[in-house]
Structure 1
Amino acid sequence: GSYYTPDYIVKYIIEHTVGPVLKEKFEQVTPRLREAQKAYRQRIRNNEAVRKQGNEPLPGHNPKLVAQSFRDAVDELFDVKVLDPAMGSGHFLVEAVDFITDKTIDFLNGFPWNPVTATLNQTRDAILGEMRKKEVNLNPARLTDINLLKRHVLKRCIYGVDLNPMAVELAKVSLWLDCFTLGAPLSFLDHHLKCGNSLIGAKVAEVRRAVGESTVKGHTQLDLSAPASPACSAPRRSCAAWAS
């Protein structure tokens, strides 16, 4: 049978498992965010000097390096993975998304400008631009930072497995309802939520059926594009493993 974990227990588990990981992550990324803020102010001063006086860019200012430092800060902040190996309808994962989003907002409030906010603005602009191409009128006010950040957390941090294919689909719906953003599909859920047995993994016979070997330039290519289990209707995923 199935067991539904009460909400207060889920909140307690999230707070005492994900919470300490986030606290440590925030402490690690704080120096990088401060460096990003410094680089941002330097870029603003450089742009103003070029615009007002027609001067050359300030010495030592490299826009590509600045942009890369912003991306690195965002990548480090969201380098947190939450996996529910028996996710059921996704109750634990929905709570994890909300918890990470709330804590991240509280943390970023200490940085008036930060690359995460800049990334969300870029996402908002991209969505609005795509909607204009489709001649769809979308109110920018509906693309709030919270909605976009939730989607970002879901895309970067959340994973789940369940033995029941129906549970996998229910979890997708639960997360879709919690993180729905107008104009932004959540197609990546098919790659984050999988049907399978996380306790024992795949059987040897299933692996043999799924893996086709071919030799390419002295290497062995393992084609894992076939589904691991015929009883599981999860979408196919192609990847290649190389071994000498």
Structure 2
Amino acid sequence: MTQNEAKRKIQELVSKYEQVKLSGRIDKYSEQDTKDSFIRPMFEALGWDFDDREEVSKEEFVNSAGRVDYGIYLNNQPKLFIEAKKLGAAIHKPEFAEQAIRYCFNRVVTWAVLTDFESLKVFNAQNVSENLSNKLYFEIPYTQYVERFDQIWQLSKESFETGLIDKEAMKVGKLQQKITVTEQLAKDLNEIRELLTKSLHQWNEKVTADDLDEGVQKLLDRLIFLRVAEDRGIEEPILKQLVRDFDLRKDNNQHIYQSMITKFRELDEVYNSGLFSQHPFEKWEEYGGATKKAIDILYGKSGYYEYDFKLIPSDVLGQVYESYLGHLLSKSRKGLTLDVSAKKRKEQGIYYTPSYIEDYIVEQALKPVLDNCHSVAELKAIKVLDPACGSGSFLIKAMEMIEKKYVEFGARKGEGIRLQVLLDNIYGVDLDEKAVEIARLNLVINSLETRMKLPGLEQHIKNGNSLISGTDEELKKYFGKNFRDKKPFNWEEEFPEVFN
């Protein structure tokens, strides 16, 4: 459909709406009637194929509280989400807009549409302003759809293909203040890490910098895991409840840090994966309020951005983790500092690989192998090994691809397939111990589907130098008596199930 044809189609829809309004039948239109009679035809006129599931996804769930009605995709990437309401709905209510905006923010999508056809609102969900009106790109009443058609055309498939909507939004200053969930989450996790590090150091001065860094990382891993479990509906809002209970206690004899450790002991009985096993940091003390602040940050800021970890893609978490793998904690007379270390990044090869490159590499390496699989037994026999796994992003892409193959063989999603893939097919090595821990966490989070015992991944994701191997005699001759400091990694010994 050409631009002129689309304009005529929208003129027809406006005329149809006016007839419905004059007849007094607006109240008889349900939300589904509105979508079928007005909203879907409007966006079909703009070039979107609602019969193509890869282009238009219907009723994407936000959380237990609701959903957005349509997800619009281009080249498998979400570009726009539409929240539809019945004819005559009060779409001026902030909660309607905030629902669509929150979903877009967590899915790293810029544009959100809210419409009941009588009015159409377009929001920039990535705008950093706390004011909803600043997030509003434009609003058009149905009476101006034809005369302001050029603006409506910005929501067309052609507009997204050419980048027109972004260019036009930049002209009027509506695409300048932008922050993605990746950037914001990385910033917030670094803030949490710094808060906890400084406060725990203040109350536990005898703890070494290395032990402090390890303890804070372990604590942060647990907090992230719980936020994911909460937003997936697997756990109640444990962390938020800890804060509320602390605020309600009059004597505050037991600080929130100690309450949190008590909860970790309970969770260790549930998940039994090593994630919640006893650790020296549980005997530390923290009375400075950093724990409470850290928990608050992990929920995001209401009306500004709110994290929904159910929606945040796994590769986004991977990017966030890798952004602070290169940070180095150092202790001096001035106190503790957490800085980006270019030297550490170079020595340990800490570099972020863009998602589209990961997709391409995994597609090229794994798809031909999967295409030759004709049974579940053959699928189980595949071994995917990443010799420099970082935060596990490549391995997660591989897990998702293998899971799709299981579904082709008749398995159903949500029945423990990802966990099975993780245990049967996935292996990794990294030189950075922190990266290994993060990769294990990322992989466990990706396979978490219900409240269940989770595996420890010590035999699947290991710490070592994948470029160095050999007998002790050979390594000693080449590197000297301290050759073990190089972390040599003997593949056949470490992963016998892969190489035998």
Higher helix share: 1
Q: Between the two structures, name the one with larger relative contact order (CA 8 Å, sep ≥ 6).
A: 1
TM-score w.r.t. the length of structure 2 is 0.25
TM-score by length of 1: 0.49
